[in-house]
Amino acid sequence: MTEPPLPSEQNAGAARLLGPNEVRDLAERFGVSPTKKLGQNFVIDPNTVRKIVRLAGVEAGDRVIEIGPGLGSLTLGLTEAGADVTAIEIDRRLAVELLNTARQMQPEVFAGAAAPRLRVIHTDALELSAEMLGAAPAPPEVLVANLPYNVSVPILMHLLELVPGLRRGLVMVQAEVGYRIAAGPGSKEYGAPSAKAAWYGEWRIAGTVSRRIFWPVPGVDSVLVGYERFAEPRGDEGERGRTFELVNAAFAQRRKMLRQALQPVLGPLDVAVETIEAAGVAPTARAEQLRIDEFLAIARVHLGRSGVR
């Protein structure tokens, strides 16, 4: 049975965004062949781009950070909505050409703008620093990105720590990873990424994405994961660091009880048991049963007893 054409192939109103032909033409012009190493799967459907922008709640004047803009498919959706975008691109060729593509595709958006609507930083997202972002008039407040599948969780954790002003976001990731990020205690998907993500805010699965909207077509399904950051942080940086140490230790030996799994951080068995109990947590519990605030409670007891912050 022949599959129907992509929605963008029927959508005459998608000229301001990149469709399949434009994506392939740009890739050929720039000499770009998508690579698994860089996690490059380019979005070719304008309708999906607009869906992502809508679900992310992007409005005119929002300061958005985008990771891995590639040829600019999602970038153009964000600027079309009136956002000011800081794009982080690891591929030098794409970083150089992105602003030119935006100006050509959306001249009415960029012509006569009082301030740059699009800023491109050429770097690995995992090496992005506060200094690199510091030249912007104001820090980003919204994250919207099609994250490279091979490093999506490390990038997400790095950004959440680096940019405390990110108040909400929507990311497209591999389905398995997305469900793991949004999972709660007690579910089979719950793991270290789930617990660490919960430190920062509330997470949800916001939608699914067809493989057919990518070029090349990936071998995995994708989901959209949204989050809202807490108005107040759960704890200070010292507490976050120790809590994440506990999370890592607990899930590294998730089949073991906490009294055994947490010894690398808490110390000998008797000390570990005493610390865990003082936090109001059962030493016989296992990692997948604990909420992030319970890991934090253990961290606070341990930090208080060690006298280190």
Q: Model confidence over 158-167: pLDDT tens digits?
A: 999 999 999 9
pLDDT tens-digit readout, 56-115: 999 999 999 999 999 999 999 999 999 999 999 999 999 999 999 999 999 988 876 666
Q: What is the mean pLDDT of residues 126-130?
A: 96
Between residues 138 and 278, the one the model is more confident about: 278
Residue 129 predicted with pLDDT over 90: yes
Q: Which residues contact 154 (CB under 8 A, 6 or more apart)?
A: 126
The four Cα atoms 284, 289, 291, 296 give a dihedral, to 10 degrees, of: 30
User: From CA 83, how far away is CA 211, in angstroms rounded?
Assistant: 27
User: From CA 308, how far away is CA 1, in angstroms rounded?
Assistant: 65
Residue 11 predicted with pLDDT over 60: no
- Range with lowest mean pLDDT among 38-47, 73-82, 142-151, 247-256: 38-47
Q: Tell me the pTM.
A: 0.89
Between residues 102 and 149, the one the model is more confident about: 102
Binding-site positions for S-adenosyl-L-methionine read 41, 43, 68, 89, 124, 146
Following DSSP, what letter does each residue of the chain receive, concatenated? Answer: -PPPPPGGGG-GGGTTS--HHHHHHHHHHHT----TTTT--EE--HHHHHHHHHHTT--TT-EEEEE--TTSHHHHHHHHTT-EEEEEES-HHHHHHHHHHHHHH-HHHHTT-SS-SEEEEES-GGG--HHHHTTSSS---EEEEE--GGGHHHHHHHHHHH-TT--EEEEEEEHHHHHHHH--TTSTT-SHHHHHHHHHEEEEEEEEE-GGGEESPPSS-EEEEEEEE-SS-SS-HHHHHHHHHHHHHHHHTTTS-HHHHTHHHH-SHHHHHHHHHHTT--TT--GGG--HHHHHHHHHHHHHHHT--
Binding-site positions read 41, 43, 68, 89, 124, 146
* Token reading at 304: 């208080």
User: From CA 232, how far away is CA 228, in angstroms rounded?
Assistant: 12
pLDDT tens-digit readout, 109-122: 887 666 678 999 99
Domains and CATH numbers, the chain: 7-229 (3.40.50.150), 237-306 (1.10.8.100)
Confidence class for position 3, pLDDT limits 50, 70, 90: very low
pLDDT tens-digit readout, 237-294: 999 999 999 999 999 999 999 999 999 999 999 999 999 999 999 999 999 999 999 9
pLDDT of res. 236 = 96
Residue 122: φ, ψ to 5°: -90, 105
